[in-house]
């Protein structure tokens, strides 16, 4: 099968906390002003990405994997994950604060939900003045202290707030309590999982006047109660080269800022390659075709690509592999 660079139709998600920036900034075809997420690459059940470009337009990502697993994913990826796409790629617009939440690790997620855990990273694409994230506790707490804060509605007093600007990057381990703050637009790279334990939702009600479900008990044994300064990603921003950002067991992410063309021999990579365009535009090619991307778009190149060429005068990309 001719596995050229593949683009997919965005899967748009209404969220209580969502806004309109996915349409305003990126041109996503949103239908309302509470659109919180654009799922760019997904094989989550019920939300499977569909090819938008070229001869394979209309094919689902899962169907392509089922029929071309090693060519698309890479032999080593298939050995680890079978015919499951191990990454979920999103753009997120938080007009309001997201709930304070955490995600279980692989073991707990498997036992409780037959799912992967959810390790993730965030790259800030746009932020209002004084916008912030919650990442972790501001001190090490005991389980009992945490439970008392939930009972007394004082959890936010234990939270660590981080002001953010464009380009800031955060790595969120499983178990780390966190929330995206109002006024932040970001790119999210995560394990394929939709398992979230919501522990505080700012006492908000949904459009029907109901409080959203909290997962207080499930979170207790999944949470890391230690204060850890392990979440800010420091990375180089050298032009026209590949700069490593994150290298973890679940994904590897590089920062690429170009004002000229870049070619890479990826014969030995043995993984698919994802490019999230977080600034500018480019034409990205492999041996079998090309795709144009602009800010807010994503392209998937199959593992059997031998060479990848990026042609541009100005682009910033997040390059994601396994």
Q: Which active-site residues does the annotation give? A: 198
Listed in sequence order, the residues at least 6 apart from 257 whose beta carbon sits closer than 8 Å to its beta carbon are: 237, 238, 239, 240, 243, 279, 315, 316, 317
Read off the tokens for 194.
Answer: 């939709």
| Residue 238 in marked binding region | no
Residue whose pair of structure tokens reads 């535009």 in the numeric block: 281
Q: How far is CA 198 from CA 10, 59, 87, 103, 178, in A?
A: 25, 34, 22, 9, 10
Q: Is 215 annotated as a binding residue?
A: no
Rounded to whole angstroms, how far apart are CA atoms 308 and 285? 6
Distance from the first to the final alpha carbon of the chain = 22
What burial letters (b/e) apply to 52-64, b meaning 16+ CB within 10 Å? ebbebeebebbeb
Retrieve residue 60's tokens.
Answer: 């689902």
CB 35 within 8 A of CB 22: yes
Residues 220, 205: Cα–Cα separation, whole Å: 24
User: Binding site annotation covers 120?
Assistant: yes
Annotated binding site, which residues? 103, 120, 178
Annotated binding site for Zn(2+), which residues? 103, 120, 178
């Amino acid at each position: 099968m001719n596995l050229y660079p593949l683009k997919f139709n965005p899967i748009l998600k209404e969220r209580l906390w969502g806004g309109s920036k996915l349409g305003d900034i990126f041109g996503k075809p949103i239908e309302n002003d509470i659109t919180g997420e654009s799922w760019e690459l997904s094989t989550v059940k019920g939300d499977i990405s569909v090819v938008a470009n070229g001869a394979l337009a209309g094919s689902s990502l899962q169907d392509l994997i089922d029929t071309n697993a090693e060519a698309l994913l890479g032999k080593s990826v298939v050995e680890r994950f079978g015919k499951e796409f191990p990454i979920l790629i999103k753009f997120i617009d938080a007009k309001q604060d997201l709930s304070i939440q955490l995600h279980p690790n692989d073991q707990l997620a498997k036992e409780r939900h037959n799912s992967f855990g959810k390790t993730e990273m965030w790259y800030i694409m746009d932020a209002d003045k004084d916008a912030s994230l919650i990442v972790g506790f501001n001190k090490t707490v005991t389980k009992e202290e945490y439970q008392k804060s939930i009972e007394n509605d004082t959890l936010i007093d234990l939270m660590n707030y981080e002001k953010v600007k464009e380009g800031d990057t955060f790595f969120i381990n499983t178990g780390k309590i966190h929330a995206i703050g109002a006024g932040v637009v970001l790119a999210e790279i995560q394990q394929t999982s939709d398992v979230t334990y919501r522990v505080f939702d700012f006492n908000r009600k949904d459009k029907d006047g109901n409080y959203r479900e909290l997962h207080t008990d499930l979170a207790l044994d999944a949470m890391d109660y230690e204060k850890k300064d392990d979440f800010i990603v420091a990375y180089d921003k050298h032009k026209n080269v590949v700069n490593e950002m994150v290298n973890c067991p679940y994904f590897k992410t590089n920062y690429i800022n170009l004002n000229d063309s870049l070619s890479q021999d990826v014969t030995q990579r043995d993984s698919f390659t994802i490019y999230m365009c977080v600034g500018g535009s480019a034409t990205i090619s492999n041996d079998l075709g090309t795709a144009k991307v602009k800010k807010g778009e994503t392209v998937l190149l199959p593992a059997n690509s031998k060479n990848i060429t990026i042609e541009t005068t100005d682009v910033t990309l997040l390059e994601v592999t396994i």
